[in-house]
A and B are shown apart, each in its own frame.
Chain A
């Protein structure tokens, strides 16, 4: 039963929102390289969405391109989700390992990432009046992914419905804390750097005089 290869597992997980991830867990399936590829595709999609969209749909074309926000909005966000979820669920008797959380969450994002590519493709053929089609695709993608993420978290930790809901809320809170600490750390490092640099200049002046 269920002797699928990696590619078939992807298909199985995405098309079986209720038992797909349970099956994966049971068969210990799921591949990290596939998950990484999915996240990278998401990152590329977010750039496509902002850069290669049909010109008639541009709300406002910005003057500069900066890649950092795109990295933060996809890769960093995802990693924070994984770490936050692992940290929360370890305390809440979750059975998932970091690896499994990473892989399952990435698989769950496939419909959303696919909908972005489809949107970008469609935006080159449609006009503004037909924007509803693009919106429909996006909402279907987002909705599908939300269901899958929920199902992934539920099966990876073997939670009940309500516990999954609570875990997700706590995960989001944990993500906010992690991001806050990151920002704090960055600004502290900067202050330390400024401090060291001013000591260096002070010494350099004194040596000269």
Chain B
């Protein structure tokens, strides 16, 4: 009776929700590209939009002249945006709405009063602890560390170390500083990871190098090198991993790196602990699109190339795909949440994406060719999915139940919702419901757990009946067996 009442209530609630949200659904369905997501079989299926492009901001809008090839955007602890305006050799700092310019950093002052300027800066980072601005000054071959007023406190240049090959130019592209003040620098021509400096600017070594993917070619090369002479060996090409492209730091101090590569499929996204170990190495997530796009004009396959990564406040991972101009948003466990953006001329489309940043429910993407920043806003669907995912990942399965039901109102193909409901119902002890949703989610693992509970419950509830049935059947079988044997014997005698 109680369960029926609950079902009835849920149904009524669901009906009301549909009525309320059907209006929003109609509004949020308009986007100039087909919004999709991946299903259980890794095939693209239509989905609801989690983010919509709301506006784009150019340098002209901000009243400081057009951007020229902006290549990075960063949000500091005061929610101000630092936009690296590469071609104009300046850092533009705006307010949190991206409507007004707070300041433009183009001149920096040494202690002795002399002035220095930037030359094609590519990356910026602002430390929330020390309030210092780190600028990767690409063509000046240095990383500038200064305060908000532009007073240089440290300048990191090419290290005079054996570990650093002196033939190479120092070309910093991205920069990051952890809580201890260690500075990590992505260098354009280094494949052994990010160069790591301590807070004094002394070179410490490399951090987070990618491993070489074990393709058949690499293994074959390894074999040939074993049996070839030194002379032959010197002529073969070396197997070198792709260098990391960009990185970001989350609240717990983990560094996430991304690698933009046309061929490499492993290590494209890594979550590194302080020891440099990849915590995502066990994930089966294929970051970016599953299938490469075949271009007839160049007769080449284009696979996703993640050129920037950003960790949102709630731990979600935003990955920016250079190939398709799409943003792939994953939760902190690496489950795909949304795909948005495209390569086109309309709002929400890009020519060449460069960097991504987020604040609350908004995502900002910098296009280096179009010279503006596009602002994406979370839809109702997006916010409800985020709410449910965050609750779920934090272990609040039951609290996530209602948001998950709501998610299904928007998109009945959203597999994570079925998984979430199955987990929540299992916690609540509704094994049959949990089994049902596990089946809908096509998850044998979840089904197994629900089934185990259901079986235990069933056995303890019906133990007497089962025992009685087994005993009766056994008795009947024995009687029948002896009866038949006896009859056979007597029939044999007669014959």
Q: Is the CB of A57 within 8 A of B444?
A: yes
Q: Which of B439, B442, B455 contacts A125 (CB 8 A)?
A: B455
The answer to whether residues A58 and B444 also contact, given A125-B455, A127-B452, A127-B455 and a CB cut-off of 8 A, is yes
Query: In the assembly, what is the distance between CA of A63 and CA of B41, in Å?
Result: 8
Q: Does B447 have its Cβ within 8 Å of any Cβ on chain A?
A: yes
**Number of residue pairs across A and B with beta carbons under 8 Å?**
23
Complex interface: chain A residues within 8 A of B452 (CB): 127
Q: Which of B242-292 contact A (CB under 8 A)?
A: none
Q: Is the CB of A56 within 8 A of B455?
A: no
The answer to whether residues A127 and B448 also contact, given A55-B439, A61-B442 and a CB cut-off of 8 A, is yes
Interface centre among A56, A61, A125, by most chain B C-beta atoms within 10 angstroms, is A56
Q: Which of A59, A63, A125 contacts B444 (CB 8 A)?
A: A59
Q: Does A128 have its Cβ within 8 Å of any Cβ on chain B?
A: yes
Q: Is the CB of A127 within 8 A of B444?
A: no
Complex interface: chain A residues within 8 A of B455 (CB): 125, 127
Majority DSSP secondary structure for residues of B touching A: helix
Interface size class of A (residues with CB under 8 A): 10 to 19
Q: Is the CB of B447 within 8 A of A55?
A: yes
Return the CB mask of B310-352 against A: 1 if under 8 Å, else 0: 0000000000000000000000000000000000000000000
> Interface residues of B, CB < 8 Å — how many?
10
Complex interface: chain A residues within 8 A of B447 (CB): 55-56
Interface centre among A57, A125, A127, by most chain B C-beta atoms within 10 angstroms, is A127
Query: In the assembly, what is the distance between CA of A55 and CA of B442, in Å?
Result: 9
Query: In the assembly, what is the distance between CA of A127 and CA of B459, in Å?
Result: 14
Residue of A nearest to B41 (CB): A63
Query: In the assembly, what is the distance between CA of A128 and CA of B455, in Å?
Result: 13
Complex interface: chain A residues within 8 A of B439 (CB): 55
Query: In the assembly, what is the distance between CA of A54 and CA of B455, in Å?
Result: 13
Complex interface: chain B residues within 8 A of A55 (CB): 438-439, 444, 447, 451
List B residues at the A interface (Cβ < 8 Å). Answer: 41, 438-439, 442, 444, 447-448, 451-452, 455
23 contacts between A and B (CB under 8 A): A54-B451, A55-B438, A55-B439, A55-B444, A55-B447, A55-B451, A56-B444, A56-B447, A56-B448, A56-B451, A57-B444, A57-B448, A58-B444, A59-B444, A61-B442, A61-B444, A63-B41, A125-B455, A127-B448, A127-B451, A127-B452, A127-B455, A128-B448
